[in-house]
Structure 1
């Protein structure tokens, strides 16, 4: 089932992303820059771990995790999180497979 998600994906549209970042506490300067970036997402699977690499001119990051298991993540602004709830703020980002 994960096979349909594997590959490289390019951001094609984004709605409410600045408001989402504001709820996260991201600075205004960083929100302005991040809102302009159209990152690529590369998803791979090595048998028991999913690897997601985000590449952009502003910042690149990578996470790896086992499906169905809680994991720690470092956000793009360098915060350690397990779960994020944004006060009902929803951001929709649409990616197209490259």
Structure 2
């Protein structure tokens, strides 16, 4: 289940994120901020199975609440309005966002005690790595 993802995660590296933001249509100014931002991810689950995923930084804090396999409306950190569904597949938390005929996915998995988030848009892939905050 999602319990392995629960906790506070600090970003330690981000590869190819500017190209990913370009691929999803983020403007220059927002990309400049996005490239400098090192957000914390805070994930929790309540008794009813609702998962909260919060991305917190000095620039912006966003939060989505969802149940696995149930589509919901999301406003992303770069202000896209998406239809999003989160699924758990082979231990990976997969976030699929669709908007304006486009689709991107963010695959999160725990590997060697780190949370690896792989952001994919077409053939552009960004990998962001987080470690658990003690």
Where does the alignment leave 5 or more consecutive residues of structure 2 unmatched?
A: 84-96, 98-102, 105-120
Asked if 1:89 is matched to 2:124, the reply is yes
The count of aligned residue pairs is 98
Instruction: Name whichever structure is richer in strand by fraction.
Output: 2
**How far apart, CA to CA, are the structure 1 residues paired with 2:18 and 2:29?**
11
**How far apart, CA to CA, are the structure 1 residues paired with 2:25 and 2:2?**
32
Greater RCO between the two (CA within 8 Å, min separation 6)?
Answer: 1
Deviation readout 1:11-49 (Å, 9 max, x if unpaired): 110111000000111111111111011100100000211
Where does the alignment leave 5 or more consecutive residues of structure 1 unmatched?
A: none
Q: CA deviation at 1:87?
A: 2.1
Cross-structure match for 2:3: 3
* TM-score normalized by the length of structure 2: 0.69
Alignment of 1:37-76 (within 5 A): 37-47=37-47, 48-76=49-77
**How far apart, CA to CA, are the structure 1 residues paired with 2:79 and 2:7?**
25
**How far apart, CA to CA, are the structure 2 residues paired with 1:60 and 1:35?**
15
* TM-score normalized by the length of structure 1: 0.93
Q: CA deviation at 1:75?
A: 1.0
